[in-house]
Structure formats: structure tokens, C-alpha cells
Structure 1
């Protein structure tokens, strides 16, 4: 479902090409919101929970579900062949606690639970899906009584990293390739939607300030996620791609100046944990 990141590609459409190695270059920072989300999710009822991870990407955070619930039957869904190949190769199989970790093709825009799940979770994926709140009712209906639907999405579409990307894409005739500020809702709106569906909801936001090392680290970060549609669109025109990257690099250096210990990169995230009535 990452075509994500962690954060998710299951939702970006079949045209975007994903690079698992580039995505995993910042794996520690990308995994932190998922761990914070996990810490607020109640344990599923029963010893052998069924869990779906929508937008599992290369599976590097899906395995954290098996660490938390070692007897669970966990399936990660994604629509990126590149991401699924990595997940199948590195993470699929029985877990040490007697559970099972599998990965399968799935598109979050159309995916529906085929049987009741105790937990449906999505990490940094729903921002790729226009109108994703319209899917909430189907997913919550697919939860077992007392089950949980949980997700986190980036809330930084107004940040310089994304604003500059959109401005340059528009000047290059690629405006339609990128997501805009309405890609995600406000925490208040998510709370309203989830409670209207009969759930008890916990919604919050956090801004992480990542200290990124190396040269042009913000550019390196977005190459693994938000910039992928642009890189895909310009894949057959290396000259145009390099010109875009040079302009974007210069703009990011001004927006995120390097300090003596690295480059500070604020990143807002929005979280939700919704519990279905038992």
C-alpha cells in the first residue's frame, strides 16, 4: 500500500515507482511515529489476534506488530511490487511467538476486510488516498467487536519541504503529480468522523524535530516518499529531472540550513486510535 514509509505506498496509484532502499535510509526516524502509535493501542482480545497493516511498504515496521503481539496472524498489504518483494524476502514467515507474518497485494482505495480483524492499522499511507475518510466505515465494520482501527499520517503539507516541492512542480508542468494540503484532515475532523461511526477515539498530533546528518538530508528524506511521483514523472528525462533536483536542492538549503550538528527537520504527524464498541 505504499506504491509507504513506513511510512505507505498501497495508495499512490500504479504509476509511481518506489525505491525500498531509498525509503529505508531514514528507517529509524520513519519508525518512531509507528512505535508511538503502537503504544496507545490496546491489546486485542484473545490469544491469536488477526491484524491487517494497510500500506506495509517493505515490512520493516510490520514486524514491530509481531514483536508486540507474537501470537498474532498479521498480513501486510501494499500495491507496490518493489516494496512487496522486499517484504516477502526479508520478513515473511512464522514468528518466534507462534504467530504468522504474511504480505499480499492490496490497494487501500478498494481493500475490504474478508473476515473480522482485531486490529486494522495504517502507517503513513492514507495521505496518498483522496477521500480516505470515506473508507473508515467499511474498515470499522470489518473489525471484530472491541477491535481497533489505528493510523498515523504526516501533517506537514504546509511545511517548506512540501510547499517548495509543489511550487517547483507547478513551474515544471507537474502540478497534478503531487498531494496538496488537503491530503489529510485536521485532528478535530478525524475525531468527528471516527466518533460519528460509533467509536471511542483518541486523536492527537506530534511534531518531531529530526536532526538529519549528511549533505542535503531533507532532499534525501523526501526522495524516499513525497518526491516519488515527480521522480517517476521525470524518469525518462534525466536532464529535466536533474534540473528540478538542483533547483529544489537550492531551495531546501535555504529553508533548512545545516547547523554544526546536522540539519533540523520539523515533521508534524497526526495520530488516531479508534476502538469499536464491544
Structure 2
């Protein structure tokens, strides 16, 4: 289950890649823009500010996120990105930090590139930090003797699901697109008692939270905190620096 309030804890930090991604989309007067994985809709709303004449279509697999998006005035619907197909007037497809949850997303990208009209845009961003200390700490704890039997089916994000920027560039160039692909490591300045835990609690730790009853969840958190503190020490001024690598792709359909 996705929790919009938890996800929005670091809304400014999470939003920056969205704006960096869209800054490379040079669509002038798109007719329809689709946001796949719209989340709570706080970023989707900005699409109408940039392109006021466009119809904005938003999808998310989480009912909780769709409800939050609708409360913000976004025309959002519950749906799996694997089931989405572009309408004839679709000119821009945006997917922000969503496709890494879909192992077969390269096939989706190829399908969309074939279905979209000439001049349409596909823009997406996925995390590239699956081997970061935060993720390694969670994997180590999940596989420990205390938790392995309870979390043996834990579907933790895997690095092999996401390709490097060059891999996506090759994929979509071969599909007949002009591609702009790059990688960025953001160094987020976080504050608070357990900021990295709070960050991953809204995303990567969701399957753990869903699998554990309240008492076990609190125990798991208590064991994870010192591991994260060691990997991301808090400075004397209260700041914790949290590097986060992301992969960006903006492709324009040529054929």
C-alpha cells in the first residue's frame, strides 16, 4: 500500500527530478499529456501550468494515490501501466520513478514508441541507486536469521531491472526515436531524527511494512536505524547528506 502523506514527506526533493526531466521535453502545444505513475498528483498538476491547452490523463496503480491526486483536481484513474495504450491525440508520455517497479518495462517502451505518432515524446526517470548503502542495509536485514522466514517473499527492487542510460538510448534509438539520456546523482540535504529511514519508508520499504504486523515492523525499524546511521552519519549541524542516483530518458518518435 502506498501512503501519500509519507511519500510527500520529501516532496521538494522527490519533485526536482520531475522538473529536470520535463525541462528537456520541447513539446510546443501538445494535445494530450499522460502521466503514468502520477502518485498523489502534486507534480501532475504542474503539467497544466506549462501546457494549459492540453488534456492531462493520469494513471496510478494505487487507489490511495489516485484518491490523493483527485483531491488535488487531477483527472486520475486506477490502472496498471502495462494496460495503458495511447489515444490518437497523445503527444507526451511522462513516467516519473515508476517503471523500475515493472520488470518488463523495456518492452513497454518499445510498444509505446510503435504506437505513438511521429513527433510524440516519451520522458521517464528511474532510480539508479539499488546498490546504495540504504538498499544494501535493507537487503542484509531482510536476509538475516531474524527476518528471513517472515520476509522470504520480499520483492525488493533489483538493480538488474533498470538499464544504464546508454542502454535505454540504444533501445529507443533502434525503435526509431531521437534520444536524450543522462544520469544524475543528487546529494539531498536531509534533516530530522531518521531522515533516510523516512525517505525509504515511503518507497522501498513498503513491501516490508505490508508484510509485518505493527510490533514486528517497529522491531525491524529499530534494527535498521543504526545500519542507516552508520552509512549516512548525521553531521554536528544536524544535516544528513543522502546521495541518490537517477537515470533520465527523453525520446522523440521519428517514424
Assess same fold via TM > 0.5: yes
Measured after TM superposition, the shift of residue 183 of structure 1 is 2.6
Matched residue, 1:222? 200
**Counterpart contact for 2:179–2:249, Cα < 8 Å:** yes
Query: Where in structure 1 do 4 or more consecutive aligned residues deviate above 3 Å?
Result: none
Matched residue, 2:64? 82
- Unmatched tracts of structure 2, length 5 or more: none
Question: Following superposition of structure 1 onto structure 2, how do residues 182-201 of structure 1 map, counting pairs within 5 Å?
Answer: 182-201=160-179
Residue 116 of structure 2 corresponds to residue 143 of structure 1:
yes
Residue 129 of structure 2 corresponds to residue 162 of structure 1:
no
What's the RMSD between the two structures over aligned residues?
A: 1.3
How many aligned residue pairs are there?
A: 249
Matched residue, 2:25? 41
Matched residue, 1:256? 232
Matching residue within 16, 32, 42 for 1:50: 32
Matched residue, 1:99? none
How many angstroms apart in 1 are the aligned matches of 2:217 and 2:112?
Answer: 39
**Counterpart contact for 1:120–1:143, Cα < 8 Å:** no
Measured after TM superposition, the shift of residue 177 of structure 1 is 2.2
* SS of structure 1 residue aligned to 2:49: helix
Matching residue within 6, 9, 21 for 2:5: 21
- Unmatched tracts of structure 1, length 5 or more: 1-16, 93-101
Matching residue within 210, 231, 242 for 2:188: 210
Matched residue, 1:11? none
Matched residue, 1:242? 218
How many angstroms apart in 2 are the aligned matches of 1:42 and 1:114?
Answer: 20
1:103-133 per-position Cα deviation (integer Å, ceiling 9, x unaligned): 1121012322243410111000011011210
TM-score (ref. length: structure 2): 0.94
